[in-house]
Amino acid sequence: MERGGERPTPRYNKALTVKLRAFLFSEWRFSMKAVLCISDSINEFGNGNFEYFPIKITTNKKKFIKSLVKEVNKLLFKNNPKDVVKLLVLGFLYDSLLFSEEIKKIGFFRASKYDFSMPPVIRAFLKGFFLTSLNTKVDDRTAKYIKSVDNFLSITRDVKKLYEKIIHFTHKNDDKLFKTVVAIIDMFFMHDTSKAIQDPRRPRKLYTREALSEGASYLLYIHKDQCHLGFNNVNEIDENALFDPEYLCAIIDTYSLKEYMYSEIRIERFPYTMDKKESGVCLVCQDELFEKSRHLGFLMQDLANYKIIEATEQAYKNKAASFGTFFYSAPRLYDSLIVKLDHPVERWVLKISEKILETFKDEFLKDKYFYEELAEIKNLNHNHFVSENTFFNYKIEDDVTITDVFKFKRFIVFLSSIMMSFLKEKIQKGNAKEKAMAFRSLIPVFKKTDFINAVSILMPKNKVQSIVKLLSWVSKESNALDLQYTPFIEIESELVVPFNLFYNSNTVRNSLSLKKKRFYETNEYEPTVNMLYSSLVNKFENVCKNLKYRSNNEEGELDVILAKDGYLIVFEIKNSLHPCNIAELRTSFDYITYGAKRLNDFTRLFFSDEKLRTSILNRLGLASTGTYHIVPCIATGNRALYGYRHNSVAVRYIHELLNLINTGQITLGDKPVSTWKGSNISIDDLAKFIQEDSLYDENFSFFELQEASISYVDKKLIQQRYLYNNEAAQKKYELQ
């Protein structure tokens, strides 16, 4: 019988006890004891009969698990708690590791997915998980994860209170909040602003401007979600609120919510657990080397960036034109671009004039680069392993090259320099009225069509449209906001352009990340594979690349393999952008996890399959006899997990490997290290660099375990972390 014009939900009252048991036993090859165990476990949570069991039962384990997870998620929002719990039990008992991995992908156990209020059915499942025997029937990793989720829930009510406080703040300051928050963050990114910002409530608590940008991004996203963002929101800045501690505290509190969300991801995707404490919970890294190598990688990346800037300064300071010199040689020439408006509030705005732009059009459209741009270019070339010609002509979009993005940024930086120079003078030397007007004018708002038409004076319009679309967050869409990745904000027909945020963002790198683009899509043209292969071929004889293999039903590919004197050194190459957020770090870690599995699988097959072993050795030009020791190594294109080792597989930075092979010299921080025993590299030198961690251990020894806490009303999230003791490191190196 139909109700409300819809077909009734199909019911299979005894699906579990009849049909499902039969499949568990006959198709999935479970023992009858295991089948009864599953039935009994579901009965522990209540009636063993499902109201309905719509999932097609199949012997394809992964397909069934994915269908199961999809159904669990669907039933959760249909308010069908009993069957949600039963399907969860079934999934964890069928294959706890595979099921938990699929559940994690949809963030099922993240309270933030449900506005920081975990649904009662999930709370009920977690409670039952530990009260019944289910926790003893899943793998150890899954049991630790579920325990961490359960512990984390102990502070969720306090997190929810903070979330509600922030929502109240957005409603209270609705009209002026949006542009005011953008202006506050944009001021943090001015060139002469300190990177460390104090919490007004806890002066010793410091935040980077990048962290507060994340907090502001989420605050604006909540504001959009709770209030309608429209034309009214882009007009007014509350200049008095720019220095109001309440606004800064709201941004910091929202960043605290982001830290809660990051911690949810850490216990899902990384080697962390969550322990319960009297004051709240504590995030504990179960892999000390992971935490140290993560922090060391970022330190080494910053140091490398600084060295590239320093080297660029020495090489090009007197050869390349300076953007600063170009602009400041005639700063007043462009004052006519700034006009005063009285409506809807008194402020200064940019009016882009084609006539004035013609005065520098030719200079800006040259394919030569300003000195300030060259360091960024050198850094990108170094990290992406590409020639300048390939780099500049690479298409981020169908019609947009990296050269186009640089020229676009150059123009926006030019406009920023004009506006900021004018406003800083008014803020520093103007009267009270002029200062107030200057603060109101910090964030330019353009008609989107006017902005595109103006930039089109310098570039083809289709390119400008593509770049603006790529770098814009559209308020009417549901995607999350990140001001550093998408600094342009589109609200109705308006385009909000925070100049300082845009100037300090790595536009080209972020564009590649947003489009998920790589310069080379296959290993056949992967530069890191070819670079490592070429270096090894120059030093050793028995080297292969892109070597495919198959053993029974398993197959794989070795990026680079070298054989000599009883060693088989096998490389898995992983070339991804250096991570700038937790999602990108997760990608790098997933690559390393997958790479380690592939290498360990190959090691297992090599020693267990004589036919495979003979085939591999013959393709390397070797006899199939003899004893071999396999040395696996993951060579990465970034420093994300510097000196890490996953499941006994070493992670090494590709540039250090290349320097080791080619010259015998590698640089750890500021310290050059000679790695060859003789006048040329030996297989023992290479194997030692991969097998031993002594070159990294010294830097790891300078890390100290510390705790940082984040307050949520009455509860705290404590984070254990390792911080590098610069003072101790400097003292030791000075003595050497």
| CATH code, domain with 574 | 3.40.1350
pLDDT at 28 over 70: no
Does residue 560 fall inside a structural domain?
yes
pLDDT number for residue 4: 38
CB 193 within 8 A of CB 187: yes
Q: What would the mean pLDDT of 491-511 be, rounded to a whole number?
A: 89
Contact predicate 155/708, CB 8 Å:
no
Same domain (yes/no): 480, 550: no
More confident residue, 334 or 111: 111
Query: Is it the case that residue 516 has pLDDT exceeding 50?
Result: yes
**What b/e string do you get for 293-312 counting C-beta neighbours within 10 Å, with b at 16 or more?**
bbbbbbebbeebbeebeeeb
What stretches of 599-641 adopt beta strand conformation (E)? 629-636
Say yes or no to pLDDT of 547 above 50. yes
Q: Is residue 735 assigned to a domain?
A: no
For residue 736, is it within any domain?
no
Number of domains in the chain: 4
Query: What is the pLDDT averaged over residues 672-685?
Result: 88
Domain boundary (469, 495, 514) is at 514
SS3 677: coil
In a domain, 184, yes or no: yes
Of 514, 543, 571, the residue that ends a domain is: 514
Q: Is 253 exposed, middle or buried (0-12, 13-18, 19+ CB in 10 A)?
A: buried
- Are residues 459 and 558 located together in one domain of the fold? no
pLDDT of 87 > 60? The answer is yes
The model's pTM is: 0.89
Per-residue confidence (pLDDT) for residue 548, from 0 to 100: 94
Asked if pLDDT for residue 31 goes beyond 90, the answer is: no
- The pLDDT value given to residue 196: 81
In sequence order, what DSSP letters do the residues of 120-143 get, joined into one string?
HHHHHHHHHHHHSGGGGSS-HHHH
Query: Worst-scoring range by mean pLDDT, 190-199, 425-434, 502-511?
Result: 190-199
474 and 559, same domain (yes or no): no
The span from the CA of 481 to the CA of 496, in Å, is 13
CA angle 516, 519, 522 (to 5 degrees): 95
**Angle of the 507-514 helix axis to the 371-384 helix axis, nearest 10:** 40
Is there a domain that residue 653 lies in? yes
| Nearest by Cα to 98 from 142, 52, 54 | 142
Q: Does residue 485 share a domain with residue 555?
A: no
93 and 133 in contact (C-beta within 8 Å)?
no
Same domain as 480, residue 357: yes
Question: Cα dist. 23→14, 27, 41 in Å?
Answer: 14, 5, 17
Q: What is the mean pLDDT of the chain?
A: 84
Between 50 and 260, residue with greater pLDDT: 260
Distance CA 197, CA 212 (A): 9
Name the least confident of 178-182, 379-383, 676-680: 379-383
Give the Cα separation of 409 and 470 in Å (integer).
13
One domain for residues 556 and 435: no
Considering the domain architecture, whether residues 227 and 351 belong to the same structural domain is answered as no
With H, G, I as helix, E, B as strand and everything else as coil, classify residue 574.
Answer: strand
Same domain, 506 and 527: no
Binned at pLDDT 50, 70 and 90, residue 498 comes out as very high
Shared domain for 485 and 585, answered yes or no, is no
Output the pLDDT for position 10.
Answer: 37
Domain that holds residue 402: 323-368+386-514
**Whether the Cβ atoms of residue 339 and residue 356 lie closer than 8 Å to each other:** no
What is residue 345's predicted lDDT score, i.e. its pLDDT? 80
Q: Tell me the pLDDT band of 156, cut-offs 50, 70 and 90.
A: very high
Residue 317 inside a domain? The answer is no
Q: Tell me what pLDDT residue 295 has.
A: 93
82: pLDDT strictly greater than 80? no
What is the 8-class DSSP label of residue 47? -
* Residue 12 in this model has a pLDDT that exceeds 50: no
Average the pLDDT over 481-503 and give the result: 92
Residue 29 domain flag: yes
Could you say which of 229, 251, 269 is where a domain stops? 269
Specify whether 681 is located in the same domain as 565. yes
> Which residue would you say has higher pLDDT here, 571 or 24?
571
CB 297 within 8 A of CB 580: no
Q: Is the pLDDT of residue 364 over 70?
A: no
Q: Are 669 and 699 in contact (CB under 8 A)?
A: yes
Same domain membership, residue 101 and residue 179: no
In-domain check, residue 167: no
pLDDT of residue 523: 47
Terminal CA-to-CA distance of the chain, rounded, Å? 86
528 lies in the same domain as 504: no
Alpha-helical runs (H) found in 430-455: 432-440, 448-455
pLDDT for 590-610, tens place per residue? 999 999 999 999 999 999 999
Q: What is the pLDDT of residues 443-458, one digit of tens each?
A: 999 999 999 988 888 8
